[in-house]
Amino acid sequence: MYSFLNNEFLPADKTMVHVSDLAVQRGYGIFDFFKAVNGKFPFLNHYLDRFYRSADFMQLPVSLSREQLAGILHEMLQKNGVANAGIKMVLTGGYSPDGYEIATPNLIITQHTLTMPSAQLLERGVKIITHEFRREMPLVKSINYITGVWLQRKMMESNAYDVLYHLQGEVSEFPRCNLFIVKADGSVITPQAHVLEGITRKNILSMAGVTTGRVTLEDVILAREVFLTSTTKRAVPIVQVNDVRIGNGKPGPVVQQVLQELMKKELAD
Ligand SMILES: Cc1ncc(COP(=O)(O)O)c(C=O)c1O
């Protein structure tokens, strides 16, 4: 299996960066993650837009043009002989002389095995818990997941699938997913502010009757349906928030419809 580092393909187990990288020293860097499906990259333009936007905001120049980067991604799939996979592109702060100053970024592209949610999980739905937190620079796909990683123990102890961030009752997102609710009047809403603009969220926002807005913890608890979305999870129904059951405690029709439409869009792109 090959990875890519800056300007060359290397065996995955020989792809390394130096300890002086600002990613190691200060957690400074950005990334993006998307899927290869049947040898194609659905919505690649959206992921590249976000990657270059995050890089620009974090003052990290990308040495490759969009066309060069897309070419390397296709070459990597061919070299690895895999048609379905997860692809991660990381751009680090580089080898900093004083461990603080931004240097020349390292670009690392790696290929990963993908596991999508099981049919059983989608049929049953999941429990989530909540945590008071808001990400700094939420529009940037930063490599810093310190709170999410730290919360894993609490999630396991609570038997929860994920943890929803809120600040003083206004909800934003999960560490790695976006949130949608279906209100009692049937409207479908995702938080407008303080979130990463997920590509799955973007695709769902293009569906009829879906909008952005302010969402509170109370809205979530009173919702008819609640679900989370991401590239690797698509749309997963949530049937319990902390100790509160959502609706009748079973996945509803809207999330199933959204999932079908997402899968169709993925194959059509
Ligand atoms: C903070 C955050 N929100 C939402 C998402 C979901 O985004 P996407 O649909 O592009 O996978 C991610 C993905 O990793 C994320 O890190």
Along the 269 residues of the chain, how does pLDDT read in single tens digits? 999 999 999 999 999 999 999 999 999 999 999 999 999 999 999 999 999 999 999 999 999 999 999 999 999 999 999 999 999 999 999 999 999 999 999 999 999 999 999 999 999 999 999 999 999 999 999 999 999 999 999 999 999 999 999 999 999 999 999 999 999 999 999 999 999 999 999 999 999 999 999 999 999 999 999 999 999 999 999 999 999 999 999 999 999 999 999 999 999 98
Distance of CA 228 to the CA centre of its chain: 11
By the 10 Å C-beta count (0-12 exposed, 13-18 middle, 19+ buried), 214 is classed as exposed
Percent of the chain as helix, strand, coil, to the nearest 5:
30, 30, 40
**Per-position DSSP letters for 51-77, written without gaps between them:** HHHHHHHTT---SS-HHHHHHHHHHHH
Task: Specify whether 72 is located in the same domain as 105.
Answer: yes
The alpha carbon of 98 and the centre of ligand 1 are apart by a number of angstroms equal to: 32
Q: Domain with 17 in it: what CATH number?
A: 3.30.470.10
- Element holding 128 (H helix, E strand): strand 126-132
Nearest CA to ligand 1 atom 15: 176
Task: Specify whether 145 is located in the same domain as 198.
Answer: yes
Task: Specify whether 165 is located in the same domain as 33.
Answer: no
Structural domain including 41 reads 2-112
Q: Which atom of ligand 1 is nearest to the CA of 47?
A: 10
Distance of CA 161 to the CA centre of its chain: 15
Task: Specify whether 128 is located in the same domain as 62.
Answer: no
pLDDT for 161: 98
Q: Choose one of 112, 140, 159: the last residue of a domain.
A: 112
Three-state SS for 132? strand
Q: How many domains does the chain have?
A: 2
Task: Specify whether 100 is located in the same domain as 123.
Answer: no
Query: What pTM was estimated for this model as a whole?
Result: 0.97
Task: Specify whether 67 is located in the same domain as 139.
Answer: no
Task: Specify whether 125 is located in the same domain as 93.
Answer: no
Task: Specify whether 131 is located in the same domain as 217.
Answer: yes
- Element holding 112 (H helix, E strand): strand 107-112
Which of 230, 232, 259, 266 gets mutated to test ligand 1 (max ligand atoms within 8 A of its CB)?
230
Do 232 and 243 touch, CB atoms closer than 8 A?
no
pLDDT digits (tens, 9 = 90+) for 157-193: 999 999 999 999 999 999 999 999 999 999 999 999 9
Task: Specify whether 83 is located in the same domain as 138.
Answer: no
Task: Specify whether 223 is located in the same domain as 127.
Answer: yes
Three-state SS for 202? helix
Task: Specify whether 67 is located in the same domain as 22.
Answer: yes
Task: Specify whether 209 is located in the same domain as 131.
Answer: yes
Nearest CA to ligand 1 atom 16: 176
pLDDT digits (tens, 9 = 90+) for 106-120: 999 999 999 999 999
Q: Domain with 161 in it: what CATH number?
A: 3.20.10.10
